[in-house]
Structure 1
Amino acid sequence: MNNPFVTNGYVSAKYFCDREKETADVITMLLNGNNIALISPRRYGKTDLIRHCFSLPEISGHFYTFIVDIYATRSLRDLVNKLGKAILEELKPHGRMVWELFVNAISSLKAGISYDISGTPSWSISLGDITNPTISLDEIFNYLQKADRPCLVAIDEFQQIGKYDEDTIEATLRTYVQYCSNAHFIFAGSQRHLMGSIFTSPSRPFYQSVTIMNLPPIPKDKYREFAVKHFRENHKILCPEVVDILYDRFAGGTFYLQKVMNVLFLKTPDNGICGMEMVESAIDYIINFTADTYAELLYQLPEKQKEVFIAINKEGKARAINSGAFCKRYGLASPSSVKSAVNGLLDKDFITKERDYYEVYDKFFSLWLTKQ
């Protein structure tokens, strides 16, 4: 690999930083029959942690593992489509006898499976083909129960189910999960308040049904050691204070650290030194690629949402945003209009809520906005 700072998915343990305790905890929980709710802000590396755990021999040698991202789903039909496709794609490398068992199990969707000239199947099902998603979901879980290996299913951005029109979806999934003894589940989510309400509210079906794990940032010293080592192994020198300043600036967010370190690595010549003087130009290099997109996103926002978005960005970690004081400070119309705008911004993922404060979700977007 030319650049050891991977910015797009999981490659191998060599390029995966730390998470030794979290890896051990996830493996132990799964091997002992537990379901897990894995919660952290987006871009902290939840999905890469899951892929890392699933790649280890104690898991990969004994389980079928499936990861399905439901971030873009809006209904049970969407969920069935994503889940079915993820299972088929994962089973294909295991050979015909393995994937055929799944294809035969999903009789309501079988007609939507196409085959290439070598007989390899593809998921060519459109949403219109899923005429009865409840039956199709039942078939998928029947497969999981009868599969010839135990299964591990990770559902990423699980909080999305709370936005489905079907108001019984949580109860339905909870029932299937409860009685599917051949499969265990990781429910990963990035919106802490929504995930918390799903798994910790006594009135919700998933209450007390999982082990909740909150994923913290990678410790600064571990990431510093990781970054310096990869520079050194490639005959480059990284000043440790570069990592420290970036870590603090991006609150330990793995995605942002990796993006900036990737650029710093490519801009550091062989046998060269990466020092503090390179940091700002590396960040600008990244932001400039996306500047037009950020400008267009901002332009498309309704005026009131735009005003509140800019105000939250100026505040950094915005607390008490429905107060008169916040409105007065930023010239906003009223607390009620702020509340409405915030709901819209949350729905579009422009901002995120963490405990008692709101902040701009994309830290590069925030930096671009600050420079305008």
Structure 2
Amino acid sequence: MITDVNPFVYSHPVSAEDVIDRDGETQELLRNAVGGHFVRLYAPRKYGKTSLLKRALRDGEAEEGLIPILVDLYRVSSIADVTLRLERAYSKQLKGAVRTKIEDFLQKTGIGVSLGAYGISAKLQLDPKVDPLPALHALLDLPLRLEESGGYRAYVALDEFQDVSKVPNLDGLIRSHIQHQADVASYVFAGSEPALMRQLFEVKDRPLYGSAVPIRLQRLRNEDIAEYVAGRFEQTRRGVGETLNPLLDAAKGHPQRAMLLAHRSTIGVKRTRPRSPSSTRSSTLSGVASTRRSRRRCGQ
């Protein structure tokens, strides 16, 4: 049985538990959500945007009682595609009594949407000529149904939202629904192409102009990366050695790049039993701080 696995994930979004720091960003997202404000979260690709969304949705559910829904709109290409993504997201993430109530409502509409196996996705596969628009309207209105079902507030994150610009009039269709949902839902429009996100939200003749609080995701602090990397080395009984400072210099606060470098740095390092996890981490981080002070004195 393989027990020694590389602890640094760089090839896909990490779980909410593995997000490095981002405490301030998480709280800012939640404050806006609870306050009923829509948010535009944007950053270049591989900055940890999706991982941050997962953490905010998790904490929103645990701390504020919000119903979390994460919708992946990456390379969405049509109204039918958007409909499938929304149906899939609600089907995957609604649970318990809330799910039962929403499923009952959808069945009564008679338009073919379902949280089970035979939903609009199955209908479109059997007959591509089926009009998905009625189903999309129903899905976009589900936050209203959640509130009617027991006072629940939806927390909906639309990831890679810039890709809706590829579907004519889709941003206008979305706005026509969410403009009536401020009292029952909080939305995060997240995008990895800042220029396209600006076009959607800052051009005056676009439907979503001025409708969301802009939050730009910044690079990570070196201190946070150092603590995380040193801790993971310790957990796998490896010494970080002289690896940390060159890694920080090369990563320059870029989350995915830091994890890629840490992943590669772990390969070939033999496992040892450190003297004490706490003392090892303290000495490692002290070394980082000492190196920085030396560089400042030298004018680097």
TM-score surpassing 0.5? yes
Q: Contact 2:16 / 2:54 at 8 angstroms: preserved in 1?
A: no
Counterpart of 2:233 in structure 1 is 231
Counterpart of 1:316 in structure 2 is none
Q: Secondary structure at the match of 1:216?
A: coil
Q: Secondary structure at the match of 2:179?
A: helix
Moved more, 101-110 or 187-196: 101-110
Distance 1:244 1:124, change over 3 A: farther
Q: CA deviation at 1:36?
A: 0.7
Counterpart of 2:13 in structure 1 is 9
Q: Distance in 2 between matches of 1:95 and 1:19?
A: 30
Q: CA deviation at 1:251?
A: 4.1
Distance 1:111 1:272, change over 3 A: closer
Q: CA deviation at 1:11?
A: 2.8
Q: Distance in 1 between matches of 2:34 and 2:115?
A: 35
Counterpart of 2:279 in structure 1 is none
Matched ranges for 1:106-117 at <5 A = 107-110=110-113, 113-114=116-117
Q: CA deviation at 1:130?
A: 7.2
Q: CA deviation at 1:56?
A: 1.8
Counterpart of 1:84 in structure 2 is 87
Q: CA RMSD in A?
A: 2.8
| Structure 1, unaligned runs of 5 or more | 116-120, 274-372
Give the alignment partner of residue 194 of structure 1, picking from 183, 193, 196: 196
Q: Contact 1:146 / 1:182 at 8 angstroms: preserved in 2?
A: no
Q: Distance in 1 between matches of 2:94 and 2:240?
A: 42
Q: Contact 1:27 / 1:53 at 8 angstroms: preserved in 2?
A: yes
- The amino acid across from 1:100 in the alignment is E
Q: Distance in 2 between matches of 1:254 and 1:99?
A: 38
Distance 1:45 1:189, change over 3 A: same
Q: Distance in 1 between matches of 2:95 and 2:120?
A: 9
Q: Secondary structure at the match of 1:137?
A: helix
Matched ranges for 1:1-372 at <5 A = 2-7=5-10, 8-13=12-17, 15-56=18-59, 59=62, 62-92=65-95, 97-101=100-104, 103-104=106-107, 107-110=110-113, 113-114=116-117, 124-126=122-124, 128=127, 131-147=130-146, 148=149, 149-164=152-167, 166=168, 168-180=169-181, 181-239=183-241, 242-271=243-272
The runs of at least 4 consecutive aligned structure 1 residues that moved more than 6 Å come to: none
Q: Contact 1:92 / 1:98 at 8 angstroms: preserved in 2?
A: no
Distance 1:139 1:243, change over 3 A: same
Q: Contact 2:90 / 2:115 at 8 angstroms: preserved in 1?
A: no
Q: CA deviation at 1:140?
A: 1.1
Q: Distance in 2 between matches of 1:99 and 1:201?
A: 36
Q: Distance in 2 between matches of 1:60 and 1:130?
A: 44
Q: Contact 2:73 / 2:160 at 8 angstroms: preserved in 1?
A: yes
Number of residues of Structure 1 aligned to a counterpart in Structure 2: 264
- The amino acid across from 1:139 in the alignment is A
TM-score (norm 1): 0.64
Q: CA deviation at 1:225?
A: 1.6
Distance 1:176 1:217, change over 3 A: same
Q: Secondary structure at the match of 1:228?
A: helix
Moved more, 257-266 or 65-74: 257-266
Distance 1:21 1:111, change over 3 A: closer
The higher-RCO structure (CA 8 Å, 6+ apart) is 2
Distance 1:161 1:253, change over 3 A: same
> How many percent identity over aligned positions?
23
Q: CA deviation at 1:80?
A: 1.0
Counterpart of 1:348 in structure 2 is none
Q: Distance in 1 between matches of 2:64 and 2:120?
A: 25
TM-score (norm 2): 0.78
